[in-house]
Amino acid sequence: MVATPLRRRAGRHRALLGWLYAAPTAAFVVALFALPLLLVLRMAASRWPLLAGDQGLNAPDNLTAAVGHRLFTDSVVFTLKYTLLATVLLLALGLGLALLVQESSRWNNLLRASFLVPGALGLASASLLFYVLYSPYASPLGPVMRRLDITFLGSPNAALASTVFLVVWRYAGFYMVLMLVGLQSIPADVFEAARADGANRWQTFRRVTLPLLRPTLALTTVLCVTGSLLAFEQFYLLTKGGPDNSTVTVVQLIYLIAFQGQNDLGVAAALSVVVLVALVLLNALQLRAFRPEER
């Protein structure tokens, strides 16, 4: 009879202690995520010029103006194209590099460090570095570029390819590390059993490595797709959306609507909400696609 109230008191004490431990993180999430999200939703439903503040509710018009913007369709198509290219290249190269340096040795450790070096640069710094490298006047290769009439940012396809190259160079090492962690979490006896059954390298990779790497592939795909859909710095610094607005991403369009041209925070917030909903749905579909198969 005595033990039960004591256990209940101890359980309440542990629950209270758990809430106290979680309180700082909860406050952080509320202050830096929940409250800004509520503010964006309020702005999306209001007429909110940049310098005038809230001018009253205007929910449907903001959404209509965002979707009807002259650059909306082009920016969505371009963002999806960039996301597809960047995701395929980063995941393929990250997995390939991880397989290359999977075994720990002196040279493999050197390769790992070399592949990770670009990750030490911030994306904005890397973008400025490549902007100089691509310039026919400031680049060390400038004389050759001018003589051969090579332009890395002068056409839509060249600008896209040049930016994708920058992103792959910057992030390949990061995805290599994630893939390497996933590969090293696979038990070695699984590969030994596959070899004992007569499986060759390709069969082992297809039937053993990829299925067991599914959680890592889910994580890396979500990170890569989300980062690509929210691309801003690399295009803003490298191409400024050019040539002829051919490299304007959706996030760049939000920036243009909010701070250039229209100066309308309400329309920009409405477009931000559309992007948020699309990201949530897309990430849910990705996680569902990588869900382990039920047997």
**Structure confidence at residue 249 (pLDDT):** 95
| The pair of three-digit structure tokens given for residue 253, joined into one six-digit string | 């369009």
What share of the chain has pLDDT > 90, as a percent? 47
**Structure confidence at residue 73 (pLDDT):** 94
Helix segments in 121-230, DSSP class H: 123-134, 142-148, 156-184, 188-196, 201-204, 210-212, 214-229
**Structure confidence at residue 79 (pLDDT):** 96
| The pair of three-digit structure tokens given for residue 45, joined into one six-digit string | 């439903």
Rg (CA), the chain: 25
Q: Does 1 have pLDDT greater than 50?
A: no
Which phi and psi (to 5°) does residue 35 adopt?
-65, -45
Residue 59 to residues 46, 47, 260, 266, 267: CA-CA distances in angstroms? 6, 8, 21, 9, 9
Rounded to whole angstroms, the Cα distance separating 53 from 48 reads 5
* CB-neighbour burial class of residue 276 (10 A; exposed 0-12, middle 13-18, buried 19+): middle
Average model confidence (pLDDT) for the chain? 88
User: Residues of CATH 1.10.3720.10 domain(s) within the chain?
Assistant: 72-247
Rounded to whole angstroms, the Cα distance separating 264 from 257 reads 6
**pLDDT tens track for 64-88:** 999 999 999 999 999 999 999 999 9
**Among 239, 236, 269, CA closest to 254:** 269
Q: Confidence class of residue 186 from pLDDT cuts 50, 70 and 90?
A: confident
Most confident residue range from 6-15, 134-143, 198-207, 229-238: 229-238
Rounded to whole angstroms, the Cα distance separating 223 from 120 reads 18
CA-based torsion, 132, 136, 140, 145: positive or negative: positive
**pLDDT tens track for 209-268:** 888 899 999 999 999 999 999 999 999 999 988 888 999 999 999 999 999 878 889 999
Rounded to whole angstroms, the Cα distance separating 53 from 46 reads 9
What is the CATH T-level fold of the domain 72-247, as seen in this structure?
MetI-like fold (1.10.3720)
Q: Is there a contact between 130 and 162 (Cβ–Cβ < 8 Å)? A: yes
Look at 168 and 57; give whichever has higher pLDDT.
Answer: 168
Rounded to whole angstroms, the Cα distance separating 240 from 233 reads 9
CA-based torsion, 137, 140, 142, 145: positive or negative: negative
Q: Is there a contact between 264 and 48 (Cβ–Cβ < 8 Å)? A: yes
**Structure confidence at residue 237 (pLDDT):** 92
**pLDDT tens track for 95-121:** 999 998 887 677 888 888 888 889 888
295 HSE (CA, 13 A, CB side): 1
- Average pLDDT on 11-17 reads 78
**Structure confidence at residue 52 (pLDDT):** 76
pTM of the model: 0.88
Counting every residue, how long is the chain? Answer: 295
Question: At 57, is the secondary structure helix, strand, or coil?
Answer: strand
What share of the chain has pLDDT > 70, as a percent? 97
Q: Does 188 have pLDDT greater than 70?
A: yes
Rounded to whole angstroms, the Cα distance separating 238 from 236 reads 6
Q: Confidence class of residue 17 from pLDDT cuts 50, 70 and 90?
A: confident
**Structure confidence at residue 76 (pLDDT):** 95
- DSSP assignment, residue 46? B
Which phi and psi (to 5°) does residue 138 adopt?
-100, -20
| The pair of three-digit structure tokens given for residue 232, joined into one six-digit string | 């801003």
**Structure confidence at residue 293 (pLDDT):** 64
**Structure confidence at residue 164 (pLDDT):** 96
